[in-house]
Structure formats: structure tokens, C-alpha cells
Amino acid sequence: MARRFEYAQAEEIRDVFARHGVRYLFIGKSGAILLGYPDTTQDADLFVEKTVANGSATARALRELGFELTDAQAAEIEGGKDFVQLKSGPFDLDLVFAPDGIEEFEQAWSRRVDVEGFPVCHPDDIIRSKEAAGRVKDRETLPRLRAFRDYWLERNR
């Protein structure tokens, strides 16, 4: 049975990743929810900076969080494989080292939004990534995400 991703889990990620010095951004629907988007999601999506040092720190942080990483998964994380899906921990987690529609981590980092210490992709980057992925579920969500982005931008002027 799928478990819903919760705010407390985002706090755990934020706190453990901060201790390990991991550079990452919440992206996807989990990022939008942290910005105030009214929805739920089954997993957290993290855009992780693709460096060997950051990948190693990420693997250590995930183990501290309770993820049971295989050697192969740890190697994928340390090597910055484009997409790593984890279901062997306290919640489901997708690590994205090369999200569709976003050229470089530094660009997204410079546009990030800080929400109570959570580094979150700007709504434009979340939308850009979903547009580029082109999955049916993303296309169905895009009109609501765009409306939310417009509301969010107006509210945060």
C-alpha cells in the first residue's frame, strides 16, 4: 500500500540533509505542496546537486534517515544517476539528478524559494520540469499548477 508523503517527513529530510551538507531542492508535487499547493503526494521528489561529494553525503544522510540502500543504489546516488527511486525506507523518495526541463542545478538553486528552511524549486521550475517530462499525469496537473503559480506569485509580490 502506498504511503502518503507528509510534512514531518519533509522536516526529517531537511534536518538530516542539513547535518550532512547535502545540496538539494524539493521539486515536483512535493515542492509545490511545501509552497502551499493544495494536494497530496505519495512520495517526495528531490533535485540533488550532481557532484561526487554531494552524492556521498546524500547516501550517508539517507542511511541515517532509515533507508536501506543496496551497494548498487549507493553507487547510483554517489554517481548522480539521472533518476533513483527509493522504496526501502520510512517513505518513498525519488532522487532526480537531471530533471527534465532544467539545465543546471545552479540555475534552479539561484531561483529557489526558502519555505521555513525547506529549499524548494521555484514554481516556474516545477512547471517547466513537468511540461518537459510529458507524462499524462503531469499534463493533467499542469493547469492547476499554473493557476497556483499565478496565485503564489501575486501573493508573494
pLDDT tens digits along 44-92 = 999 999 999 999 999 999 999 999 999 999 999 999 999 999 998 999 9
Predicted TM-score of the model (pTM):
0.95
- The reported pLDDT for the residue numbered 11 is 94
Please check whether residue 104 is in contact with residue 111, taking contact to mean a CB–CB distance below 8 angstroms: no
- The reported pLDDT for the residue numbered 3 is 56
* Residue of 112, 52, 55 lying closest to 84 (CA atoms): 55
- Establish if 105 belongs to a structural domain: yes
- The reported pLDDT for the residue numbered 2 is 47
Each residue's pLDDT tens digit, 110-143: 999 999 999 999 999 999 999 999 899 999 999 9
Residue 114 burial by CB count (10 A; 0-12/13-18/19+): exposed, middle or buried?
exposed
Neighbours of 109 (CB within 10 A): 15
- The reported pLDDT for the residue numbered 107 is 96
* Residue of 37, 4, 7, 6 lying closest to 127 (CA atoms): 37
- The reported pLDDT for the residue numbered 76 is 97
- Establish if 52 belongs to a structural domain: yes
Strand 92-96 relative to strand 113-115: parallel, antiparallel, unpaired?
unpaired
Q: Which residue reads 527509493 in cell numbers?
A: 86
Exposure of 80 in the CB half-sphere (CA atoms within 13 A): 16
- Establish if 43 belongs to a structural domain: yes
**Amino acid letter for position 105:** F
Check whether 1 has a pLDDT greater than 60: no
* Structural domain of 16: 7-155
% of the chain exceeding 90 in pLDDT = 88
The CATH number given to whatever domain includes residue 43 is 3.30.460.40
- The mean of the pLDDT values for the chain is 94
Task: Give the total number of structural domains in the chain.
Answer: 1
Residue 103 burial by CB count (10 A; 0-12/13-18/19+): exposed, middle or buried?
exposed
- Establish if 2 belongs to a structural domain: no
* Residue of 65, 53, 49, 67 lying closest to 121 (CA atoms): 49
- Establish if 1 belongs to a structural domain: no
